[in-house]
Amino acid sequence: MVEASYVLLAQAAFRAARAAGDHMMGRYRTELVVETKTSLADVVTDVDRACEEAIRRTLAEAFPQHRVLGEEGVRPGREAAVQALMNCLDCADLWIVDPLDGTTNFVHQLPLSVVSIAYARGGEVHVGVILDPYRGEWFYALRGQGAYLAGDHDIRAWLAAPSDTWPGKRMRVSGVSELRRAVMATGLPVRHRDRKRVMQRAADVIAEVKSLRTLGAAALHLAYVAAGRIDVFWEFDLNAWDIAAGALLVQEAGGVIQSMQGEPYSLRVRDVCAGSDGEMLRSLGARLAE
């Protein structure tokens, strides 16, 4: 893919993320319409849906022929998510969107929610953007061109005069390769079929690490791995829209992301671990998934 097309894709992704982020911030700490999906831990608000609509509208203006796979356009449940992905996995031009990752945080007025947008061609992610609208932090990556951290002012300036000089500063993973030195992040496996057993295994792993964080937003965890703020992240039963953008961030920041079984990341992966060192991740995944 030539750089000129990356510029056009980045323009669309930045504008779509900004539209969703602006709406999210406009509704923060306001009265919400909250509904339960598959469980009490799986909720959706009117803001999630409005943010996805803003993203879809923005992307359609730029690329009317492209397809969008968005969380709010898919029926609740694991099976529906898997089938929705399979229906468009090989699309020539596919946008994979989580309009508000960290909905429970948003509902509880915890400022830990992000917009996640990825562009994939033939099943491979080429562009990933994660926006933290609370802090005005933009984490983004382009395949073969690196991962970057930028501020709102950087993105605004670039959109005013787009070029192949990417805004912000390059990101690198931390380089930590030992669990005992690692700040680890995870999400509670609320949807896992054997939650109690997984939690027991996780407790043994967590006891070995330097520190644990659980922020309630998988995309934010992955962005922080790419930025070197978190050393290791793992979580079970995530959907493609939770991981796609963050996976490219990690890869382009020099890190590793793979399945719990040690397979390279693909859009089909749902049980995922990410960090700086592949050998450490393989050992970790084997212990968690045995």
pLDDT at 16: 98
Measured at the CA of 221, the angle between CA 199 and CA 122, to 5 degrees, comes to 105
Backbone angles phi, psi at 219, to 5 degrees: -65, -40
Q: Enter the tokens of residue 31.
A: 């009265």
CB 268 within 8 Å of CB 257: no
pLDDT at 1: 46
**What CA–CA distance (Å, rounded) separates 9 from 235?**
29
Task: Provide the 10 A C-beta neighbour count for residue 29.
Answer: 9
Cα–Cα distance list, 64 to 1, 222, 259, 278 (Å): 19, 29, 33, 39
Please provide the DSSP assignment of 5-36 as one string. HHHHHHHHHHHHHHHHHHHHHHHTTS---EEE
Measured at the CA of 171, the angle between CA 62 and CA 163, to 5 degrees, comes to 35
Three-state SS at 286: helix
Task: Going residue by residue through the chain, which has 290 residues, state the pLDDT in tens, using 9 for 90 and above.
Answer: 446 699 999 999 999 999 999 999 999 988 888 777 666 566 678 999 999 999 999 999 999 999 999 987 888 888 899 999 999 998 999 999 999 999 999 999 999 999 999 999 999 999 999 999 999 999 999 999 999 999 999 999 999 999 989 999 999 999 999 999 999 999 876 655 666 777 787 888 989 999 999 999 999 999 999 999 999 999 988 999 999 999 999 999 999 999 999 999 999 999 999 999 999 999 999 888 76
**What CA–CA distance (Å, rounded) separates 14 from 156?**
9
Among residues 45, 35, 183, 188, the alpha carbon closest in space to that of 113 is found at 45
